[in-house]
């Protein structure tokens, strides 16, 4: 079969894939010129959202749109697993899994393109996406990045073509995010030239491992490497699990099926344990740590801590992948919910005959447009993360600092985007009422499948703690080499700033500057510079405050240092989240600079402002308590958000159309136009009924008429009596 990667881009009617100006856009622009209302260039915006690897995303979407890859609802978990494993073979046949592997074994060394294509697979079935991620993004990637050319030649071809289905056996029942503390051991025996892999107790079983219950023939097992009586920390080992013919575990290896889960039931997650299992010395994936025949350990990285983080850092693509997949799921949900809200009518508040379109209600706009703004911000930030990832893994920018930046950025954005996807799917589900709860409209199914995204490839809270530690390290580094005078001036400046903010002097200054004017107060916070200042100040102040509280912790006894850190953990994580939100806002703002069409730029600026002001509104208590905003300006935040909702409303459908998803991607009955057909039919029925003169009389109208007639009769009687 012809590889999909070699095919030309497929023609489509999707606006995001047809960048030429359409007659509809020309008409919209002409209307906009007359009315002074901006128009969105949907095609150009769609192209910008597709990003650097637009062609690969189109190819992946074309593949994800095929019925044979779609999730079939209602299957048992056993049937779903069988279907998904068969779908992996379709991905192989269409060249959708080879991009990131070395050219020497048939790959293309295209790391960013590979992840871009992978992120779109959530459209077909999240189970398929994650099953593919386990096979090629974790198992295959571990062999690729932690192994040598010898390992590549030996195992990667079979991994790539699915002859060797495999597992990524890192997590243990007793240790999830704390990988450094896993208890499985791999002890070298120089007498036989073998490693002995062993599970010392129940908590050390490998758990939640994709492909472990049924399909995995091999695994990359993470264990504590022990040789000559020294534990050199966590390393990765290639291990055969099952007999390829019988599919039975090999001697010394056992396991269990994790069974039915809350979602992703197309993946056979399971548990593994090992009893004195011997594997060849050469099965150590030894790019960063090697054991010679006599048991001598060596590594190109002398520091055990740095070596550990370097090895785990090579596997950061899982977080990069989930970040983009979560953004994709948010886009799918918003396209469906906003399409439905633009057609569904409920309650005749402003007309005696016609009901209101849901999307015209302010609260509905608040629910959907704020999440639409966040999704755009997350999308632009995700593209920046992907480019950073590609720069590092291609070798173009691969310094220690680049890798640390990549790890921090991936941790920050993966946490925010996966939480946002779950929130968006739930809100969109509720916004569509009972229809949203039907499996045919996918909200409930997608949310169940994406639920675990918040805790795998790094628990989100733990990831934000990692980000916070990096922020603290950068804060400390800033003052490591400065002289006393500089540090003293900084401390005085901080104290002065705190005095100004917390005594209300800044609030007074803002009120005087605004002269009590709501318009001036709104202008001060809606400007790009004003938003940037508020968002940046919050991050800087939070980091500085925690940094000051933790100063000298490294000199305390371990127990006291841990207690001090723990007492500020919540503030640390909040600072990290504020930092991640700032990164998304900056990415959105940077993307605005790349928009050529004036109308599109105006609408996107409103959307960016909605994102920024929503962040400020969410944290309004902090800005007030810390004196960053006056009460006058604080009051205008919500008012200006409401004004932005009105401005964005006419462009809502354009903004979700730019995502570029067709019916084969959405697969939601309420996003097909069926609701509009029903509503139009109902309105026409009642219109004809009223026109016929035979419409039944509403009881309330009858009562009102009777009351008026009684009042008139009563007036006549009174007049007659007076006469």
What is the tens place of the pLDDT at every residue in 415-437? 999 999 999 999 999 999 999 99
Q: In this structure, is residue 236 part of a structural domain?
A: yes
Q: Mean pLDDT check: name the lowest of 328-332, 473-477, 564-568, 588-592.
A: 473-477
Residue 127: left (phi > 0), alpha (psi -120 to 50), or beta?
Answer: alpha
Q: In this structure, is residue 109 part of a structural domain?
A: no
Q: What is the pTM of this model?
A: 0.89
Distance CA 427, CA 429 (A): 5
For position 479, what pLDDT does the model report? 62
For position 3, what pLDDT does the model report? 33
Q: Is 108 exposed, middle or buried (0-12, 13-18, 19+ CB in 10 A)?
A: middle
In Å, how far are 120, 266, 462 from 116, measured between CA atoms? Answer: 7, 22, 25
CA 109 to chain centre: 25
- Beta partners for residue 253, in sequence order: 274
CB 385, CB 597: distance < 8 Å: no
Residue 172: is its pLDDT beyond 60?
Answer: yes
Which domain does 239 fall in, by range? 166-297
SS3 readout for 584-614: HHHHHHHHHCCCCCHHHHHHHHHHHHHHHHH
What is the tens place of the pLDDT at every residue in 659-700? 999 999 999 999 998 888 888 888 888 888 888 888 888 888
For position 257, what pLDDT does the model report? 97
CB 307, CB 233: distance < 8 Å: yes
User: What percent of the chain shows pLDDT beyond 90?
Assistant: 72
Q: Across all residues in the chain, what is the average pLDDT?
A: 88
CB 276, CB 196: distance < 8 Å: yes
Residue 401: is its pLDDT beyond 70?
Answer: yes
Residue 357 dihedral angles phi and psi, to the nearest 5°:
-75, 135
Q: What is the total count of domains within the chain?
A: 1
Q: In this structure, is residue 178 part of a structural domain?
A: yes
Q: Mean pLDDT check: name the lowest of 297-301, 412-416, 608-612, 673-677.
A: 673-677
Q: How far apart are the first and last CA of the chain?
A: 103
Q: Count of CB atoms within 10 A of residue 703's CB?
A: 10
Q: How many CA atoms lie within 13 A of 70 on its CB side?
A: 15
Q: Is 457 a catalytic residue?
A: yes
Q: In this structure, is residue 113 part of a structural domain?
A: no
Domain CATH code at residue 255: 2.40.110.10
By C-alpha distance, which of 651, 77, 171, 175 is closest to 369? 651
3-state helix, strand, coil in the chain (%, to 5): 65, 10, 30
The number of residues making up the chain comes to: 723
Average pLDDT (640-657) is 96
Average pLDDT (76-101) is 96
Give residues with Cβ within 8 angstroms of 529, minimum separation 6.
Answer: none
For position 312, what pLDDT does the model report? 85
What is the tens place of the pLDDT at every residue in 331-374? 999 999 999 999 988 888 777 778 889 999 999 999 999 999 99
Distance CA 136, CA 141 (A): 6
Three-state SS at 319: helix
What is the tens place of the pLDDT at every residue in 68-77? 999 999 999 9
Distance CA 688, CA 153 (A): 75
Q: Count of CB atoms within 10 A of residue 148's CB?
A: 14
Q: How many CA atoms lie within 13 A of 247 on its CB side?
A: 8
Average pLDDT (282-293) is 97
What is the tens place of the pLDDT at every residue in 316-336? 999 999 999 999 999 999 999
Residue 231 dihedral angles phi and psi, to the nearest 5°:
-90, 115
Q: Count of CB atoms within 10 A of residue 480's CB?
A: 6
Distance CA 296, CA 294 (A): 6
SS3 readout for 127-175: HHHHHHHHHHHHHHHHHHHHCCHHHHHHHHHHHHCCCCCEEEECCECCE
Number of continuous H segments (helices) and E segments (strands) in the chain: 28, 11
Residue 74: left (phi > 0), alpha (psi -120 to 50), or beta?
Answer: left
By C-alpha distance, which of 454, 422, 468 is closest to 570? 468
Residue 581: is its pLDDT beyond 90?
Answer: yes
By C-alpha distance, which of 236, 367, 245 is closest to 308? 236
By C-alpha distance, which of 474, 608, 596, 627 is closest to 532? 608
What is the tens place of the pLDDT at every residue in 500-559? 454 444 444 444 444 444 444 456 678 899 999 999 999 999 999 998 888 888 888 989
Whole-angstrom Cα Rg for the chain: 30
CB 426, CB 447: distance < 8 Å: yes
In Å, how far are 145, 336, 351, 428 from 604, measured between CA atoms? Answer: 39, 20, 32, 21
Three-state SS at 250: coil
Distance CA 446, CA 134 (A): 19
Distance CA 394, CA 184 (A): 33
By C-alpha distance, which of 450, 443, 445, 440 is closest to 427? 443
What is the tens place of the pLDDT at every residue in 33-84? 556 689 999 999 999 999 999 999 999 999 999 999 999 999 999 999 999 9
Q: Is 36 exposed, middle or buried (0-12, 13-18, 19+ CB in 10 A)?
A: exposed
For position 694, what pLDDT does the model report? 83
Distance CA 335, CA 130 (A): 23
Distance CA 406, CA 403 (A): 5
Residue 383: is its pLDDT beyond 90?
Answer: yes
User: What percent of the chain shows pLDDT beyond 70?
Assistant: 87
Average pLDDT (599-616) is 97
Q: Mean pLDDT check: name the lowest of 142-146, 290-294, 463-467, 472-476.
A: 472-476
Residue 385: is its pLDDT beyond 70?
Answer: yes
Give residues with Cβ within 8 angstroms of 664, minimum separation 6.
Answer: 65, 66, 67
Distance CA 485, CA 117 (A): 53
By C-alpha distance, which of 399, 397, 368 is closest to 111? 397
Q: In this structure, is residue 564 part of a structural domain?
A: no
Distance CA 222, CA 227 (A): 15
CB 261, CB 222: distance < 8 Å: no
**What does DSSP say about strands 218-227 and 230-240: parallel, antiparallel, or unpaired?**
antiparallel
DSSP letter, residue 454:
G
Average pLDDT (443-464) is 95
For position 476, what pLDDT does the model report? 80
Question: Which one is catalytic: 343, 407, 427, 457?
Answer: 457
Q: In this structure, is residue 124 part of a structural domain?
A: no
In Å, how far are 94, 178, 313, 381, 426 from 459, measured between CA atoms? Answer: 33, 10, 16, 20, 20
């Amino acid at each position: 079969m012809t590889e999909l990667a070699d095919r030309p881009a497929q023609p489509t009617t999707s606006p995001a894939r047809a960048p030429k100006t359409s007659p509809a856009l020309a008409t919209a622009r002409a209307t906009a010129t007359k009315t002074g209302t901006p128009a969105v260039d949907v095609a150009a915006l769609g192209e910008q959202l597709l990003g650097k690897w637009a062609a690969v995303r189109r190819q992946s979407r074309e593949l994800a749109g095929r019925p044979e890859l779609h999730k079939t609802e209602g299957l048992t978990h056993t049937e779903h697993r069988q279907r998904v494993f068969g779908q992996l073979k379709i991905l192989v046949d269409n060249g959708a899994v080879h991009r990131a592997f070395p050219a020497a074994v048939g790959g293309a060394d295209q790391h960013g393109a590979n992840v871009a294509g992978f992120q779109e697979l959530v459209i077909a079935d999240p189970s398929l996406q994650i099953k593919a991620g386990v096979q090629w993004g974790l198992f295959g990637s571990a062999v690729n990045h932690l192994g040598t050319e010898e390992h590549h030649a030996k195992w990667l071809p079979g991994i790539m073509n699915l002859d060797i289905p495999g597992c990524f056996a890192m997590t243990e029942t007793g240790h999830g995010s704390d990988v450094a503390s896993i208890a499985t051991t791999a002890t070298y025996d120089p007498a036989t030239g073998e490693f002995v892999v062993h599970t010392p107790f129940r908590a050390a079983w490998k758990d939640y491992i994709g492909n472990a219950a049924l399909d995995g023939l091999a695994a990359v097992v993470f264990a504590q490497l022990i040789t000559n009586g020294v534990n050199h920390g966590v390393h990765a080992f290639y291990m055969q699990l099952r007999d390829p013919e019988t599919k039975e575990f090999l001697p010394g290896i056992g396991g269990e099926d994790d069974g039915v889960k809350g979602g992703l039931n197309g993946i056979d997650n399971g548990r593994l344990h090992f009893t004195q299992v011997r594997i060849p010395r050469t099965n150590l994936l030894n790019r960063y740590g090697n054991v010679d025949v006599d048991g001598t350990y060596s590594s190109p990285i002398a520091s055990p801590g740095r070596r550990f983080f370097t090895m785990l850092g090579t596997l950061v693509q899982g977080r990069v992948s989930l970040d983009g997949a979560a953004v994709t799921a948010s886009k799918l949900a918003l396209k469906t919910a906003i399409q439905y809200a633009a057609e569904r009518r409920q309650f005749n508040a402003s007309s005696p005959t016609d009901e209101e379109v849901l999307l015209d209600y302010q609260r509905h706009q608040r629910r959907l447009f704020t999440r639409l703004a966040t999704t755009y911000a997350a999308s632009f930030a995700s593209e920046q993360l992907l480019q950073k990832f590609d720069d590092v893994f291609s070798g173009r920018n691969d310094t220690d600092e680049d890798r640390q930046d990549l790890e921090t950025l991936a941790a920050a954005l993966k946490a925010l985007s996966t939480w946002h996807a779950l929130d968006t799917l739930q809100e969109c589900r509720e916004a569509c009422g009972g229809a949203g709860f039907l499996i045919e409209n996918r909200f409930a199914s997608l949310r169940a499948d994406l639920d675990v995204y918040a805790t795998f490839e790094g628990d989100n809270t733990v990831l934000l703690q990692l980000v916070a530690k990096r922020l603290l390290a950068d804060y400390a580094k800033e003052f490591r080499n400065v002289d006393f005078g500089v540090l003293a001036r900084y401390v005085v400046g901080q104290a002065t700033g705190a005095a100004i903010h917390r005594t209300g002097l800044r609030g007074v200054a803002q009120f005087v500057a605004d002269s009590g004017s709501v318009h001036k107060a709104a202008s001060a916070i809606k400007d790009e510079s004003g938003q940037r200042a508020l968002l940046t100040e919050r991050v800087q102040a939070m980091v500085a405050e925690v940094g000051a509280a933790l100063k000298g912790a490294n000199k305390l006894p371990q127990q006291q240092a841990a207690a001090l850190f723990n007492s500020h953990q919540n503030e640390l994580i909040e600072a990290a989240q504020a930092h991640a939100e700032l990164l998304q806002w900056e990415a959105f703002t940077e993307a605005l600079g790349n928009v050529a069409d004036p109308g599109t730029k105006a609408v996107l600026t409103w959307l960016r402002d909605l994102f920024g002001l929503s962040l400020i509104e969410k944290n309004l208590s902090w800005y007030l308590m810390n004196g960053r905003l006056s009460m006058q300006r604080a009051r205008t935040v919500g008012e200006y958000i409401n004004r932005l909702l009105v401005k964005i409303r006419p462009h809502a459908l354009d903004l979700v159309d730019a995502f570029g998803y067709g019916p084969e991607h959405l697969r939601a009955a309420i996003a097909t136009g069926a609701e509009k057909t029903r509503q139009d039919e109902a309105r026409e029925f009642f219109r004809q009924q009223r026109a016929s003169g035979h419409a039944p009389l509403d009881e309330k109208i009858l009562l009102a008429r009777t009351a008026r007639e009684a009042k008139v009769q009563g007036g006549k009687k009174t007049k007659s009596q007076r006469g």
